Amino acid sequence: MFFVRANATGVEGSHASAANSPESAHIGDLRLGEPIIRTMEDFAAASGVSRPTVSKYFHDPGSVRKSTRERIEAALEQYDYRPNIYAINQNRQLTKSVGIIVPYLADPVFAEIARTLERRCIEAGFHATLFSSHGERKLESEALNDLRSLRPSGVLLAPLGRSSDRDQIARFCEEVPTVLLDRNIAGIGEAFVGSDNQSFVSQSVDYLTRTGEPPCFFEMRNPGNPNSLARHRCYIEAMEGHGLEPMLVQVEGEGWNLEEIGYQGGMRALQEHSFPTDTVLCSNDRLAIGLLAACYEKGLRIGRGSGCALRVAGHDDHPYSRFTCPPLTTVAHEYDLVSDCGAETLLRLIEAGGRFDDRTETLFSARLVLRASA
């Protein structure tokens, strides 16, 4: 199954004889005669400036005299000291830190959202700490607790949704200025930024009915995701708005393995001929990816051409939907815009002192992306 090579490089072993005391670990890279800099105290002594002045410098380099600044920066060159961010957070009245929580990092959409959020916060001079709930309520709670200890000036929270501990989130939001992202919880947090599910579904339904048979809706019977519930409702509304009968194809399954759920459910639906029309609109792209795999296995040709058996469309513009076979027609979740706006909203919130007078909800419209699958 596996094997172990000991000392495979043959070059090291240098630290094998080193003792465990923290000093000895540093003897290697210590030019003799130079002191070891661990704390701001040490660094202040080494640079010939008092510790509070050093503290002031790190808070705002422009707030100290030029000659002092130069001395500090000279010492900085030599010792590359950096203050302990967690000690700072413990003591500053208003931190330069923000927290980010996403429900599930293994979902590429959230991975992208997290990446953008982190970048924006860093660009604004903040230190960002990222947490993933990994789909588990317990881990979401842990993340909230950690964030409390971190004392961030603000938090961007994309909650798990149905399985969140609503009361705990509400309490957290009263303690820490929080912007909700992607999934709204009515009345909780200082603001919400997300997508307008109605514009998602109405666009896809409009397009599909205009260009062919009206779509049935392919979804999970018990989605953990509140956006799924909203899309379900919007589909029904949109169909009724066209004077059409809604057609639901619901698949079983729990958790976050949506491609697998879409595949299994798709196989079953195809075997049992449960699709009442030749057009399938999936609640999200991950289910669609699974369905496409099932269709391929069944030998069905997907697309809007004459030789095609089925049209398949999704929602979200998942990073991989460009690369499915055929490429997936979908409605883009503008997660870059949502992320940018979320980060910006949080920064405004922090500048405003942590509270807004009114709780705003910013919803981005979706953008239809036509590709070959429908």
Residues in touch with DNA (CB under 7 A): 38-41, 48-53, 55-56, 58-59, 63-65, 67-69, 83-84, 87-88, 90-94
Q: Determine phi and psi for 236, rounding to 5 degrees.
A: -60, -45
- Does residue 113 contact residue 181 with C-beta atoms inside 8 Å? yes
H or E element, residue 97: strand 97-102
- The one among 23, 60, 272, 358 contacting a copy of itself by CB under 8 A: 358
Contact partner, 91, from a copy of itself, DNA, none, Cβ < 5-8 Å per class: DNA
Scan residues 219-258 and list those touching a copy of itself (CB under 8 A).
Answer: none
Facing residues of 281 across strands? Answer: 217, 313
* C-beta of 242 vs 348, nearer to a copy of itself: 348
What is the Cα–Cα distance from 144 to 147, expressed in whole angstroms?
5
From a copy of itself, DNA, none, which one binds at residue 63 (CB under 5 to 8 Å depending on kind)? DNA
Decide: is 84 part of the binding site for a copy of itself (CB under 8 A).
Answer: yes
CA 29 and chain centroid, separation? 39
For residue 65, the partner it binds in DNA, a copy of itself, none, with Cβ less than 5 to 8 A by kind, is: DNA
Query: Which one of 36, 73, 86, 351 is in contact with a copy of itself (CB under 8 A)?
Result: 86
**What Cα–Cα distance (Å) separates residue 66 from each residue in 23, 236, 263?**
35, 67, 66
- Cα dihedral 199, 200, 203, 209 sign: negative
| Closest distance of CB 225 from DNA, Å | 34
Three-state DSSP at 33 gives coil
Instruction: Please list, in sequence order, all residues whose beta carbon lies within 8 angstroms of the beta carbon of residue 147, skipping any fewer than 6 positions away.
Output: 99, 101, 129, 131, 155, 172, 176
In the set 47, 95, 132, 178, which binds a copy of itself (CB under 8 A)?
Answer: 132
31 lines the binding site for a copy of itself (CB under 8 A): no
Residue 222's binding partner among a copy of itself, DNA, none (Cβ under 5 to 8 angstroms by kind) is none
Structure-token match 């910013």, residue found: 362
Number of residues lying near a copy of itself (CB under 8 A) = 87
Using CA atoms of 192, 195, 199, 204 in order, give the dihedral in degrees to the nearest 10.
-160
Minimum distance of a copy of itself from residue 65's CB (angstroms): 27
Q: Which does 145 bind (CB under 5 to 8 A by kind): DNA, a copy of itself, none?
A: a copy of itself
